[in-house]
Amino acid sequence: MATIGDVAREAGVARSTVSAVLTGRKLVLPETRQRVEDAIAKLNFSVNAGARALATSRTMAIGAVVRFHEAEFSPALATYLVALSDAATEQGYSVQLLTERDGVGAVHRAIAGRRVDGLVLFNVVEDDPRLEPITTAGFPAVLLGMPRETRGVDAVDLDFAVGARLLVDHLADSGHREVTFVRWPDSLYAAGATYALRFADAVRQRVAGHGMKLEELACPVGPEQVRAVLGERLRRADAPHALLVHNDAAAAMLPFALHDVDVKTPGGPSVVSLHSSELARLYALPFTSVESEPDAVVRAAVELVINRIADPGLPVARRLVAPHIVERGGVSRSAAS
Amino acid sequence: MATIGDVAREAGVARSTVSAVLTGRKLVLPETRQRVEDAIAKLNFSVNAGARALATSRTMAIGAVVRFHEAEFSPALATYLVALSDAATEQGYSVQLLTERDGVGAVHRAIAGRRVDGLVLFNVVEDDPRLEPITTAGFPAVLLGMPRETRGVDAVDLDFAVGARLLVDHLADSGHREVTFVRWPDSLYAAGATYALRFADAVRQRVAGHGMKLEELACPVGPEQVRAVLGERLRRADAPHALLVHNDAAAAMLPFALHDVDVKTPGGPSVVSLHSSELARLYALPFTSVESEPDAVVRAAVELVINRIADPGLPVARRLVAPHIVERGGVSRSAAS
DNA sequence: CTGAAAGCGCTTACAG
DNA sequence: CTGAAAGCGCTTACAG
């Protein structure tokens, strides 16, 4: 492997001159620059990332702290990871995977070993224990998720409250006066999943604001079980006219469940849903929906963490990405009072 | 951040002694070692990965070269990435994501910049262009996939041929004499997807070996389209009695398609499938099937690439992970000749 | 078994 | 604008 010294010799300049054209920090005579660039090309030189990291104390790497093992149902993770890597690469950063079960330990080691310049925390929950090592070290990081208290750490997420309002309004506008909120199991809210909590709160407020009647149906996340739960509810005499779904498993299985039962409502119940865009793609979900915005969310996260790396003194940022509703039909005008 | 010098001062020894206990390469008096370890704990010291990389010319990082943008239907990627990271972490390696659209360029830059010690190539196809920069640099790498020609690069994959035989035999044992092979679209085979080619070849051979009749049904990978294609075929008068599926979209949508049509066969057709374990989990697929073995495959990949890094002179390895069949019913004894 | 010295490949003040 | 020198934090022969 060629080093900066080889390039300098080849171009007949000092090593620091090569470094100057590499970093672009200093002005170099165009002619000299050209000679250096020719030498670089000729020797197929590429700066040694580790050496640069040591000299600059910048690794140009971001760590993605993932808690996959706890996720029961997340086909979307790859989308986020790849989008993160793409966004980071654009900014000259690489992404390192930190997947250890012990998230706190992983964060600790990443910070202590100076393996990365900043962290992106996936799957953030309320009172996330991974915040502790970050705040004590004052390490650049951004949360994917929006807990009430971020303790001085930047955070970005889809605006689930706005998503909830869009969907409730859509049902209300279609004349519905009652809505069955097919949601995640209680355990998920208890675990502090920030997106689920924000969505549910907004649904309740908005439904009340419209003077509508709200029924909540907590669903498990196992495909089989969710199908059974949905089927049981749909079969009852007072079958719902409008379903508002926030539970990826339920969204995926709902078409099955509707098939399973002999739906009494003409054309079936109206269904609106908030789910990951990945899910919509995989299952070709036919509902009017608000989808996650992985690219926008991840792009914002990269921007925030890079800014934070550059200037730790920046004010704390809480960024909500605006969702939009995609109308796919599936909502019938209701005559039900 | 504490450095090795701080630790040395704290423990009252030379820096090289600290290094000795860190690397474990040299024998150190137990008492001295203890003093050093106490100092490390007290100062919360952790070796600077970049500095170590520079001194040892080992980054202790593996690059995952992913081609996501071309994948239409891959909820399984995250599973593989996380499994890879877990397996690497166990061995003291970290995983870096290389997701650039230009896979060849990504490989080039990773090698030239010495960012990683080895590469794991996802989604390998026949005549994969990413092999070129690897072979010319003689860089440690392992392919996830098994092209006919690996040009001296290690490769590991599920044994799709064995999987095919297991499934065909299962149908044959149940008395089926005809089988409809619901497979990927022609474009996928044309693109050189190694797993698809190996599976299809084995199916054809095995079916012929049993003297069975084979019908092939190429399906698109879009959920809507695949559902339409399947429905059309199932509705025909000569509806198939046995379906052998190798197409994740088709496997996922088949239950819908079976719902869509009024299946004439008592109990519906027999269905066996090879698909990703992630898919089985997400969709709760009820078919007897052979599933991918992400953990085993990825673990083997990490082992191979680490061995290759340690000893470039090792003989080239081609490792096939044995699949196993999971019987879930869905195969009815056939009276059809 | 321990320690002083050189070197890994860069960058960055600092003179010229 | 260019170049010689020091230093980033480690490891590794090599003396002692």
The string of pLDDT tens digits covering residues A176-222 is 999 999 999 999 999 999 999 999 999 999 999 999 999 999 998 77
Q: What is the DSSP letter of B266?
A: T
User: How many secondary structure helices (H) and strands (E) does chain B include?
Assistant: 14, 12
Helices (H), chain A: 4-11, 15-23, 30-43, 49-56, 77-90, 103-112, 131-137, 160-173, 186-190, 194-209, 223-235, 248-260, 277-283, 294-310
Tell me which residue of B53, B33, B34, B46 sits closest to B2, measured CA to CA.
B46
Tell me which of A228 and A61 has the higher pLDDT. Answer: A61
Structure confidence at residue B88 (pLDDT): 97
Residues B141 and B115 in one domain: yes
Residues A129 and A168 in one domain: no
Among A88-102, B7-21, B67-81, B136-150, the minimum mean pLDDT is found in: B67-81
Residue B330, pLDDT > 80, answer no
Q: Which chain A residues touch B284 with a CB distance below 8 Å? A: 222-224, 227
**Cβ atoms A131, A316 nearer than 8 A:** no
Mean of per-residue pLDDT scores for chain B: 89
Residue that the structure tokens 């330990």 belong to: A105
Structure confidence at residue A262 (pLDDT): 66
Structure confidence at residue A335 (pLDDT): 42
Tell me which of A269 and B171 has the higher pLDDT. Answer: B171
Residue B183 CB neighbours (<10 A): 21
Residue that the structure tokens 């593996």 belong to: B62
Residues A267 and A287 in one domain: yes
Residues B98 and B244 in one domain: no
Residue B336, pLDDT > 80, answer no
Nucleotide nearest to A33 (CA to C1'): D1
Residues A196 and A237 in one domain: yes
Helix/strand/coil for A23: helix
Residue of B47, B74, B97 lying closest to A85 (CB–CB): B97
The pair of structure tokens assigned to B236 is 């025909």
Does residue A13 lie within any of the structural domains? Answer: yes
Structure confidence at residue A337 (pLDDT): 35
Number of domains chain B is built from: 3
Residues A195 and A219 in one domain: yes
Residues A179 and A274 in one domain: yes
Cα-to-chain-centroid distance, residue B227: 27
Q: Which chain B residues touch A51 with a CB distance below 8 Å? A: 50, 54
Length of chain B: 337
Q: Who contacts B46 (Cβ-Cβ below 8 Å, separation ≥6)?
A: A109, A112, A113, A114
Q: Tell me which nucleotides of strand D come within 7 A of a protein CB.
A: 1-5, 7-13
Residues A172 and A266 in one domain: yes
Residue A336, pLDDT > 50, answer no
Structure confidence at residue B226 (pLDDT): 87
Residue of A109, A114, A223 lying closest to B50 (CB–CB): A114
**Cβ atoms B256, A256 nearer than 8 A:** yes
Residues A179 and A268 in one domain: yes
Tell me which residue of B220, B298, B239 sits closest to A284, measured CA to CA.
B220
Does residue A328 lie within any of the structural domains? Answer: no
Tell me the residue type at A106: A
Q: How confident is the model at residue B213 (pLDDT cuts 50, 70, 90)?
A: very high
Does residue B107 lie within any of the structural domains? Answer: yes
User: Considering only CA atoms, which residue is closest to the C1' of nucleotide C8?
Assistant: B55
Residues B14 and B70 in one domain: no
Tell me the residue type at B142: V
**Cβ atoms A120, A96 nearer than 8 A:** no
Residues B87 and B188 in one domain: no
Mean of per-residue pLDDT scores for chain A: 89
d(CA B330, CA B33): 63
Structure confidence at residue B337 (pLDDT): 35
Structure confidence at residue A331 (pLDDT): 61
Nucleotide nearest to A26 (CA to C1'): D1
Strand ranges of the sheet holding A94-98, from the earlier edge strand across to the other edge: A318-321, A154-158, A141-144, A118-121, A61-65, A94-98, B94-98, B61-65, B118-121, B141-144, B154-158, B318-321
Residues A79 and A227 in one domain: no
Residue of B49, B252, B282 lying closest to A73 (CB–CB): B282
Structure confidence at residue A237 (pLDDT): 87
User: Considering only CA atoms, which residue is closest to the C1' of nucleotide D7?
Assistant: A55
Does residue B69 lie within any of the structural domains? Answer: yes
Share of chain B above pLDDT 90, in %: 59
Helices (H), chain B: 4-11, 15-23, 30-43, 49-56, 77-90, 103-112, 131-137, 160-173, 186-190, 194-209, 223-235, 248-260, 277-283, 294-310
Q: How confident is the model at residue B327 (pLDDT cuts 50, 70, 90)?
A: confident
Domain span including residue A92: 61-159+294-321
Among A118-132, A174-188, A197-211, B11-25, the minimum mean pLDDT is found in: B11-25
Does residue A332 lie within any of the structural domains? Answer: no
Each residue of B268-311: pLDDT tens digit?
789 999 998 877 877 778 889 999 999 999 999 999 999 999 99
d(CA B112, CA A44): 8
Does residue B326 lie within any of the structural domains? Answer: no
Residue A229 CB neighbours (<10 A): 20
Residue A294, pLDDT > 50, answer yes
Does residue A255 lie within any of the structural domains? Answer: yes
**CB-CB under 8 Å, A81 with B97:** yes
- Give the CATH number for residue B21: 1.10.260.40
Nearest Cα residue in chain A from B2: A112
- Give the CATH number for residue B151: 3.40.50.2300
Residue A334, pLDDT > 90, answer no
User: Considering only CA atoms, which residue is closest to the C1' of nucleotide D2?
Assistant: A17
Tell me which of B333 and A172 has the higher pLDDT. Answer: A172
Q: What's the average model confidence in pLDDT over A32-61? A: 90
Q: How confident is the model at residue B152 (pLDDT cuts 50, 70, 90)?
A: very high
Residues forming a β-bridge with B182 = B217, B245
**CB-CB under 8 Å, B50 with A1:** no
Does residue B35 lie within any of the structural domains? Answer: yes
CA–CA min distance A304, chain B (Å): 20
**Is the Cα dihedral A36, A95, B298, B71 positive or negative?**
negative
Q: Which chain A residues touch B278 with a CB distance below 8 Å? A: 75
Structure confidence at residue B107 (pLDDT): 94
Let me know the angle formed at the C-alpha of A308 by A305 and A311, rounded to the nearest 5 degrees: 155
Structure confidence at residue B77 (pLDDT): 87
Residue A333, pLDDT > 60, answer no
Q: Who contacts A87 (Cβ-Cβ below 8 Å, separation ≥6)?
A: A295, A298, A299, A301, A302
Q: Who contacts A296 (Cβ-Cβ below 8 Å, separation ≥6)?
A: A321
